[in-house]
Amino acid sequence: MAKEPKKIKEDILLRVRVLYLLFFVVGFIIAGRLICVQFLSHDTRVNAEKLERRIFSQKEVLAHRGTIFSRSGEPLATSIFRYTILFDFGCEGFDDEQGYRENCDSLSKLLAGYFKDKSAKQYYDRFMAERSKHYKITYVKDTLIARSEGWMGRLWDRMRGKEFKTEKLYDTLRKHNPVRMFRDIDYSEWQTLKNFPILNRNMGWSFDIDKHDERVFTRQELARCTIGRSSETQGEYGIEHIFREELCGQNGLELQQRIAPGYSARIEDKDNVEAVDGTDVYTTIDIDFQEVADRALRNQLEKENGIWGTTMVMEASTGDLLAMVNLSRNKQGGYVENYNHALKSRAEPGSTFKLAVLLALLEEAGLPLSTEYDSGSGKRVIITENAPKIKVADSHNVGAKIDMRKAMAESANVYFAKAVYETYNQNPERYVEFLRSLHLDRKVMTSLPGMDEASPRFPYPGSKIWYKHTTLIKLGYGYGIEVTPIQILTLYNAVANGGKMVAPRLVTKLVKDDEVVEEFPVEVLVDKICSNKTLDMVRECLEGVALEGTAKEYFGEGKVPFRAGAKTGTAQFAQGSISYGDGYYMGSMVAYFPAENPRYTVLTTIFKKRGSGTYYGAGLAGPVEKKVSSFIYNRENDWYGQVQSEEFDHHPTSVKGGNIAQTRKVAGELSPRVNFDRRAGWGAAKVDSTSTVVINSLADEPMRMPDVRGMGLKDALFILESRGLKVKIAGKGAVRKQSIRAGEPVRRGAQVELTLK
């Protein structure tokens, strides 16, 4: 009997309700599970975070470190991004032994052809050796395992009594420490290398890339103490250290999303931080002056077996240090820049201090230049009348009764010891206060205190280093006080600058994005060290030293084509464990030029032990002073070459006259024996008394073409364009050919074509 329609309808509704209820329960369970997975499950949360980290990563964006420039805008220290490829020879990607060997064979041949530093076999052998070090399969023990896998097979083995068999158990040892297989590369080189086997990720994640900022010193060790370093391993000093925060800039952060193995792309995110590049530092260093001073000092140190030496060139009106060379002998017997003697080597200066004595006697005491004292004709002379008897002697016979001009010219110790003692014995404070007015009791590098200049050891009455019967006398000829070479240079430069003492300046400005963010103006230490009348007398005395005194062999009549004011100094050295009797000496010379309108002041100090060669200031420092000052004067007066330069010896060359704005090197063009005829003016010079040389107008002085083959495009452009060359590029990758061969003469403005492959 068929059901009634009403009951059929109720039955259908019941089924629908049950189905709806079932859907609701299932949906509720699913929703609950989703909530549990999303918010309550620790494992799910961890797995989600792992997945997110694999897809998204926050990467540090390196800021480009600022550049340190020379006076002319040539980079002295700059930064280039480099890439280090680090192989993981223990990774699973190399488990395919056959594939690994084939890929390594191909990669080795490509690397050998690209870098040209090793053969393909050497690369291949290294790849095999590193793999064997980082991936090993070793025997552990014998173990029993089931002979068959299925239950029927195991049943049959059991019935036969052969259920198990013995197998050797091996363990895989992996070492994942990274290995560098070739030198660091730049970006353009990586664009080529990333297409090589293994490096193209054809064996998986088998290497890592370390991007870092490499500091490049374009002139190698030239002016290294001045430029400095900012490294925990190599020390922190110089401009790199003083302006480390400004140079470093600020690294940024960016969110990157992985889009393919080995490839990621930056994505916009509110937490991204842009990198701020470092500030550029402009120094006062003149590369030409620095190179000439470095070579001249280096040659003299080698000739005289010096222990260390320093040479500085200061611009009279500004105090700009155009050159500051510091060379020390290393264990191998060579000379390197590893200590800033100009600022840190404090010692008794000897006779170069007599400028301060001369100023005191003329300005403070009012003595005339005609004041005479008996110098004892080279014998030891008693300075004090009462006990104890203090005796002083000169190194050579300067005569008996001499005046102040003669005493300065011959550097007479007895004269100045007597003059100071008799003038200030009753009131030494007067003398000391005048020395203080010359800034001799304080540091002079006031604009850059971070250069770590040594403080003077300045004696004054009542102090521990003031000895009643001897200090005042010693202060008459450069002993009893310890100062640095930079302080002596600053004092002489004040005389060259019309009596105004300016602080030495090494940095002129800080520039960021072509805008000057900070300037370092000329700083005046003493407005006027003496009256104009005294200044004229002091200059007269210093010019007398150059023309007819202890510096005449280097700045006398006919020695150089200009007049100079100069002073020599020889000091026995006693400090720490070294006593005067140990035979250590400091020989110095200071010169400013041209005498009629001084523009530059040059100081050289050499420290050595008495032995072969000379230990007097004139013989030690004079050759360097002459070469450096002659080069500077010649460059400023449209000359090319070096006067009587035995060390800068090359073949004589006939050239023609004109303007030289950028003389790069003093070596290589003129014969060392050039005798200038001052009456003939600047138009001619005789070479070896046989031929005439007319000096060239080399607006673009020749230099040597560098070898940039094998370099990346960025590095090659930096090296060539910094030398004023125009570059034409063809191709991609690294430099394979250059149109001008390495070593050939090339001028600024010349065009060189680079072929990249």
The rounded distance, in Å, linking the Cα atoms of 258 and 273 is 19
Instruction: Provide the percentage of residues in the chain whose pLDDT is more than 70.
Output: 84
The rounded distance, in Å, linking the Cα atoms of 85 and 185 is 8
Mean of the pLDDT values across residues 526-534? 97
> In the CATH scheme, what architecture does the domain 703-756 have?
2-Layer Sandwich (3.30)
Residue 234 pLDDT > 70, yes or no? no
CATH code for the domain defined by 290-504+527-637? 3.40.710.10
Task: Give the pLDDT confidence of 289-348 residue by residue, as tens digits.
Answer: 999 999 999 999 999 999 999 999 999 999 999 999 999 999 999 999 999 999 999 999
The rounded distance, in Å, linking the Cα atoms of 311 and 297 is 7
Q: Report pLDDT for 592.
A: 98
Of 17-26, 155-164, 186-195, 621-630, the one with minimum mean pLDDT is 155-164
The rounded distance, in Å, linking the Cα atoms of 626 and 615 is 17
Q: Report pLDDT for 509.
A: 95
Mean of the pLDDT values across residues 448-466? 92
Residue 598 pLDDT > 90, yes or no? yes
Residue with token string 């026995």: 572
- Paired tokens of 161: 């009594």
Highest mean pLDDT among 259-263, 285-289, 468-472, 633-637: 285-289
Beta carbons of 648 and 627 less than 8 angstroms apart? yes
Task: Give the pLDDT confidence of 659-688 residue by residue, as tens digits.
Answer: 223 223 332 332 232 333 322 332 233 333
The rounded distance, in Å, linking the Cα atoms of 313 and 527 is 22
DSSP-derived 3-state class of residue 598:
coil
- List the end-to-end C-alpha distance of the chain, in Å, as a whole number: 96
Task: Give the pLDDT confidence of 381-413 residue by residue, as tens digits.
Answer: 888 877 688 889 888 888 889 999 999 999 999
Q: Report pLDDT for 39.
A: 66
Mean of the pLDDT values across residues 693-719? 60
Q: Report pLDDT for 295.
A: 94
Mean of the pLDDT values across residues 18-26? 85
DSSP-derived 3-state class of residue 65:
coil
The rounded distance, in Å, linking the Cα atoms of 631 and 628 is 5
Q: Report pLDDT for 202.
A: 87
Residue 589 pLDDT > 80, yes or no? yes
Residue 546 pLDDT > 90, yes or no? yes
For every residue of 298-340, DSSP letters joined together read HHHHHHHT-SEEEEEEEETTT-BEEEEEEEEE-TTS-EE--S-
Q: Report pLDDT for 439.
A: 95
Q: What is the DSSP letter of 87?
A: E
Q: Report pLDDT for 639.
A: 41
pTM above 0.85, yes or no: no
Q: Report pLDDT for 624.
A: 97
| pLDDT confidence tier of residue 641, bands split at 50, 70 and 90 | very low
Residue 59 pLDDT > 70, yes or no? yes
The rounded distance, in Å, linking the Cα atoms of 667 and 650 is 7
Residue 237 pLDDT > 50, yes or no? yes
- Paired tokens of 725: 């060359």
For every residue of 180-232, DSSP letters joined together read E-S--B-HHHHHHHTTSTTTTSTTSS-EEEEEEEEEEETTTTTTHHHH-EEET
Nearest to 131 by CA among 98, 166, 167, 168: 98
Residue 235 pLDDT > 90, yes or no? no
For every residue of 253-264, DSSP letters joined together read EEEEEEEETTEE
Summary mean pLDDT of the chain: 83
Structural domain spans, the chain? 5-56, 290-504+527-637, 644-698, 703-756
